[in-house]
Amino acid sequence: MRLFVGLGNPGAKYAQNRHNIGFMAVEEIARRHGFAPWRRRFQGETSEGTLDRERVVLLKPTTYMNESGRAVQEAANFFKIAAGDVTVFQDELELPAAKVRVKVGGGIAGHNGLRSISSHIGNDYRRVRLGIGHPGIKELVHSHVLSDFAKSDRPWVEALCEVIADNAALLAAGQDASFANKVHLALQSKGFLDKGDNGAAKGD
């Protein structure tokens, strides 16, 4: 069994924020693969289903970002899921828009959601880092992540979530490099990534 965690803040106010792209990704996985209706538990919302015969629990913590680890720990303990079988979908400032990287462990780069999760279950979970771009000035970071995607961003955000959902079974099977490559190539073919960039499988 796998636990897929989308990071974000609860409520309509935050629904379209850049910080909520993790929520958007797991919601699309649930839609694409006919998962069960979302239900409130574990200080979050969960939806269960299967990806290529692998049972997967999707979780959206409703604790606000900086307390995400409480919900993750509750769900992981209930289902007896080890940290190595937890995958977290997060927004990533240090990656260009629409770029995806997959890594296990590593630093938290100031991400409050990751900090909370690491403090509750350790650091050995998988992160799917979803690039949202950097505003260029440190002082603008807070308002950047907590502001809505621009209308011009919607096409690549929707395409990214769809491609992630299309290939989510590879993550459930532990085929991280294949997942990253397929996502990258699909977004490249749709014109959202530079044709000269082929580094999707790198961990960092």
Structure tokens at 105: 């462990």
Domain extent listing, the chain? 2-189
Determine the pLDDT at residue 109: 74
Of the candidates 19, 111, 120, 144, the residue annotated as catalytic is 19
Determine the pLDDT at residue 200: 45
Averaged pLDDT, groups of 10, the chain, 204 residues long: 97 95 98 97 98 96 96 98 97 94 87 95 96 91 94 96 97 96 95 68 42
2-189 homologous superfamily: Peptidyl-tRNA hydrolase (3.40.50.1470)
Summarize pLDDT for 124-146 with one digit per residue, the tens.
999 999 999 998 898 999 999 99
What DSSP letter does each residue of the chain carry, written as one string?
A: -EEEEE----SGGGTTBGGGHHHHHHHHHHHHTTPPPPEEETTEEEEEEEETTEEEEEEEE-S-GGGHHHHHHHHHHHHT--GGGEEEEEEETTS-TT-EEEEES---TT-HHHHHHHHHH-S-SEEEEEE----SSGGGHHHHHTSBPPGGGHHHHHHHHHHHHHTHHHHHTT-HHHHHHHHHHHHHHTTSS-TT---TT---
Determine the pLDDT at residue 108: 81
Summarize pLDDT for 31-52 with one digit per residue, the tens.
999 999 999 999 999 999 999 9
Letter string b/e over residues 169-183, b meaning 16 or more CB atoms within 10 A of that residue's CB: bbbbeeebeebbbbb
Q: Could you confirm whether 120 is annotated as catalytic?
A: no
Alpha carbons 194 and 191: distance in angstroms, whole number: 7
Determine the pLDDT at residue 176: 96
Structure tokens at 109: 């780069």
Alpha carbons 198 and 35: distance in angstroms, whole number: 32
